Structure 1
Amino acid sequence: MRKIELFVIAMLWSSVASAQLSLRWNYPCKPGTECWNALTSVAERQNACQIKGIDLKTLSTEELLLITMEHPFFRSYVAHDSPLEGLGFALEGFNGFEEFKRRPDAMKAACEIYFKEDFSKVEAFPDSAEMGAYSLKWIGVELIMSDKALLNQMSSREKTDFLKRLHASLLIKQRYRDVFGGISDAVTAYIFDKVMHSMGIEIVESQFYADGIVAFEERLIARDPGLIELLLNKFTEYVKNH
C-alpha cells in the first residue's frame, strides 16, 4: 500500500471518530486539527502521533492499548492486501504500541478490553460510516490478539477459555454480517488456527494447496473461501468438545 493512501484513510475516518475516551494521554495532533493539516508527509504525521510528555511506564497496559486503538492510522489496515501487514505498517514505530507489546500482561489487557465490548450496540448507530469505523476498530484489536508472542502469554487452559469467549463474540458479530463482513470471519479463523498451532495441533495443512496455506498463515490472505469455512467449522467443533 502506498503511503499516500494513509492520508486519505485517516481523513476519512476522522469524520466518524469514536467518542473521546477518558485517557491520560490523547493525540493532540490528529485529522481535523491545524497541526495535522500543516504536516506534509505520512512520516511527519506518524511522528506527530508519538506519545510525548508522559512516561510510558506510568501508563497501564490497558491505557496503552486504548491509546493505540485511537491512533489516526489504526483502521487503515483495511486498505492493504494483508491486514496483518497493513496494521504493522500503520503502527510502524509507534512508541505506545511498542511499549504495549513489551508488557507481560498485554494479552490479558487485550482480552479484558475486547470481551467487555457489546457488539450488538451497532444496532443503535445512526449510519453505515459509523458502523464501519466501529467494526474496523475492533477487528484491529483481533489482529493484535493474533500475535504469536501475545498468544504465548497464555497457558493451555487460558487458551481454551479464550477460544470459548472468542467464539461467543463471533456468533454475535455474525448476526451483523453486513457490518463486520467477511474480514471478521477471516481474522477469527486466523486466530483459531494460530492458537491451535501454539498447542501443537494442525488443522488445514493436509487439505489445501501449500501456497494457499502459507499466504493465509503468514499474511492472513485467504485465496480459498473454503479455508475460512473449514476453520470456523473446526472452531465450532472445538468449542463444543471443550
Structure 2
Amino acid sequence: MKRYIVFVMLLFSLDSLAQQLDVGWDYPIKPGTNEWKNLKSYEEQLNSYNIPSEIIKKISTEELVKTCLAYPEWRMINAYSDRQAGLANVIGLFNGFHELLVRHDAAKELIKVYVKMDPLVIDRNWTSLQKGTYSFQFTCIEMLLSHGVIVRQLDETDIRVLLNEAISKYKSKKQMEDMCSLWYLSPTAGLCLSILEKDGLLIKSNSDLQLFQQTFMTEDIEILERIIEESEKRIKL
C-alpha cells in the first residue's frame, strides 16, 4: 500500500524536475496540459517525449543527462516488483536514454550531477509530496549510474569519487528518520554493488548479493550494510 501511495504521488510531481534541473531540452508536451490530453493514446503520449533526430545529436551530454533525469515517465520504474526490470522498461521508452548510453562521457556528466545532490537538503517543513519528489531524484540517478554501460566507463578516479559519494549519501539518508526505508536506501547500495562488481569479486559466492544485484530490492538491511562496508574497504585500497 505504501508503494502504491508513493507511485500515485509521483504521477503528479515529476514534471517539476525539469525546472529544478534547468533542462537544456524541454519537453514540448507535458503531462496535464491540453496538448497532452488531446493525444489519442498512451503510445502517442510516450512518442511525444522523444527528441527529434535532427536535434538529439546536437544536444551536449550535460544537457542530455538533465533531460533524461527529468523524463516524465521515470515513475514507471516503480510499476515493477523488480527495479532492474523497471529501469530497462523506462530506458526503452525514450530515445534520450538510448543516446545517452552511447555517449563516451555519460558517466562523468552523471557524476557531476550526483556529487551536487544532498539528501539532507530536505526540510522537515516540506510536504510529503515535496519530500517524495526530491528523494525520488536519487533513485533515478543512482539507477542510471548503476547501468552496466555507465559502470564500464568508470576509471579508477571515477570509482573512488562515486563510491565516496554513494557511501556519504547512504549514511545521510539513514539520518532522516521520516524518510529512511529499505526502499530508499536500496538504489544507493545497489550503485555501490554495481561498482564493486566491476572488479568481479564480491558476489560470486553470495546468493543474497546475487539476488539483490538482479532486483535492487531487499527486505534485509544487513545486505545493504555489507555492501557499504565492502565499498569503504574498496576506496581504502
Q: TM-score range by the shorter chain?
A: 0.7 to 0.9
Q: Which amino acid in structure 2 is aligned with residue 219 of structure 1?
A: T
Q: Does 1:230 align with 2:226?
A: yes
- Runs of 5+ consecutive residues of structure 1 not aligned to the other structure: 1-6
Question: Do the aligned residues in 2 keep the contact of 1:9 with 1:73 (CA within 8 Å)?
Answer: no
The worse-fitting range, judged by mean Cα deviation, of 129-138 and 35-44 is 35-44
Superposed, 1:93-172 pairs within 5 Å as 93-123=93-123, 126-172=126-172
Question: Do the aligned residues in 1 keep the contact of 2:166 with 2:189 (CA within 8 Å)?
Answer: no
Q: Does 1:196 align with 2:192?
A: no
Q: Which amino acid in structure 1 is aligned with residue 223 of structure 2?
A: L
Question: Do the aligned residues in 2 keep the contact of 1:192 with 1:231 (CA within 8 Å)?
Answer: yes
Counterparts of 1:45 and 1:171, CA distance in 2: 38
- Runs of 5+ consecutive residues of structure 2 not aligned to the other structure: 1-6
DSSP-derived class of the 1:55 partner:
helix
RMSD, aligned α-carbons: 2.6
Q: Does 1:23 align with 2:23?
A: yes
Counterparts of 2:191 and 2:49, CA distance in 1: 28
Question: Do the aligned residues in 2 keep the contact of 1:156 with 1:199 (CA within 8 Å)?
Answer: no
Counterparts of 1:216 and 1:139, CA distance in 2: 15
Q: Which amino acid in structure 2 is aligned with residue 17 of structure 1?
A: S
Which stretches of structure 1, 4 residues or more, deviate above 4 A after TM superposition? 7-10
Counterparts of 1:119 and 1:221, CA distance in 2: 20
Distance 1:215 1:119, change over 3 A: same
The worse-fitting range, judged by mean Cα deviation, of 144-153 and 166-175 is 166-175
How far off its partner does 1:195 sit?
Answer: 1.4
Superposed, 1:58-97 pairs within 5 Å as 58-97=58-97
Counterparts of 1:177 and 1:83, CA distance in 2: 23
How far off its partner does 1:32 sit?
Answer: 1.3
Question: Do the aligned residues in 1 keep the contact of 2:186 with 2:224 (CA within 8 Å)?
Answer: yes
How far off its partner does 1:51 sit?
Answer: 1.2
Give the % identical residues: 25
Question: Do the aligned residues in 1 keep the contact of 2:69 with 2:141 (CA within 8 Å)?
Answer: yes
TM-score of the aligned structures, taking structure 1 as reference length: 0.82
How far off its partner does 1:158 sit?
Answer: 2.9
Instruction: Encode CA deviations 1:30-80: one digit per residue, 9 max, x unaligned.
Output: 211012112343322111111138521211111111111111111331232
The worse-fitting range, judged by mean Cα deviation, of 148-157 and 20-29 is 20-29
The worse-fitting range, judged by mean Cα deviation, of 19-28 and 40-49 is 19-28
Question: Do the aligned residues in 1 keep the contact of 2:84 with 2:215 (CA within 8 Å)?
Answer: yes
Distance 1:63 1:218, change over 3 A: same
Question: Do the aligned residues in 2 keep the contact of 1:61 with 1:100 (CA within 8 Å)?
Answer: yes
Q: Which amino acid in structure 1 is aligned with residue 217 of structure 2?
A: I
TM-score of the aligned structures, taking structure 2 as reference length: 0.84
Match of 2:213 among 193, 213, 217: 217
Counterparts of 2:53 and 2:196, CA distance in 1: 41
Q: Which amino acid in structure 1 is aligned with residue 70 of structure 2?
A: E
Q: Which amino acid in structure 1 is aligned with residue 225 of structure 2?
A: E
